Amino acid sequence: MVQHIAFFAARTFASALLAGAVLVPVSATSVRAQDARQQAPEVPSTLEAPEGHRAFLIARAVGTQNYICQLTPTGTAWRLFGPQATLFQAVGDTLRKQVATHFLSANPAEPGTTRPTWQDSSDSSRVWARVAADAVTVDSSAIPWLLLEIVGAVPGTTGGGKLTQTTFIQRVNTVGGLADPATCSDPSRVGATVLVPYQADYVFYRAQGHR
């Protein structure tokens, strides 16, 4: 019950901010991850999943990276308050089937800690992850590539566990998702939000031997 409350609270928070948010546009061409591949992509060595883990799901996320303008010790800056995206199985640039959702929520394994969350669309199983290595900027106009380590998992409401076997997740082939620092440079902007469209491929890994 606590997890469900956290999930809906996160969505309610994002919805409430949306009323005063700016949705930053990007062109249809730029938002497509043209080089997305249907196999685990080559990545910098620091973002490779550890030996003994293999990819079992690759899905393309379409959504927004959400920021709020806040005061800092040196001025103001955008702070990420979470993603909100839908993950699809894709063939080339054609999105075929929704497989998961991606958002920020409380991790039941770490009381009081919110983490990036992925929830399976068919059995509602969920996993939470933390960044496991330094981010790598591949495209200066897009959010960086990441390797994330699973730090929490729960079965779905019907006992399904399609995602619970996940051990690591890579975020690769990113497009968009960066907030323009200049639009948060004026103190009068404190409290403003922007929802920046992005796409990325998420590669889910599990320990070898799991089916």
pLDDT digits (tens, 9 = 90+) for 110-134: 999 999 999 999 999 999 999 999 9
Q: What is the pLDDT of residue 153?
A: 98
For residue 4, the 8-state DSSP code is: H
CA 198 to chain centre: 10
Question: Could you report the per-residue pLDDT of 36-58, keeping only the tens digit for each?
Answer: 335 778 999 999 999 999 999 99
Q: Is the confidence at residue 79, as pLDDT, over 60?
A: yes
Of the two residues 19 and 117, the one the predictor is more confident about is 117
DSSP, residue by residue, 107-129: -TTSTT-EEEEEEETTT--EEEE
CB-based contact 167:139 (threshold 8 Å): no
Q: Where are the domains of the chain?
A: 2-207
Beta-carbon count within 10 A of 69 CB? 22
Cross-strand pairs, 22: 194
Question: Could you report the per-residue pLDDT of 186-196, keeping only the tens digit for each?
Answer: 999 999 999 99
Which residue spans within the chain are E strands per DSSP?
21-23, 53-72, 75-91, 94-106, 114-120, 126-131, 146-154, 166-176, 193-207
pTM of the model: 0.82
80: its two tokens: 């990420």
- Average pLDDT score over the chain: 85
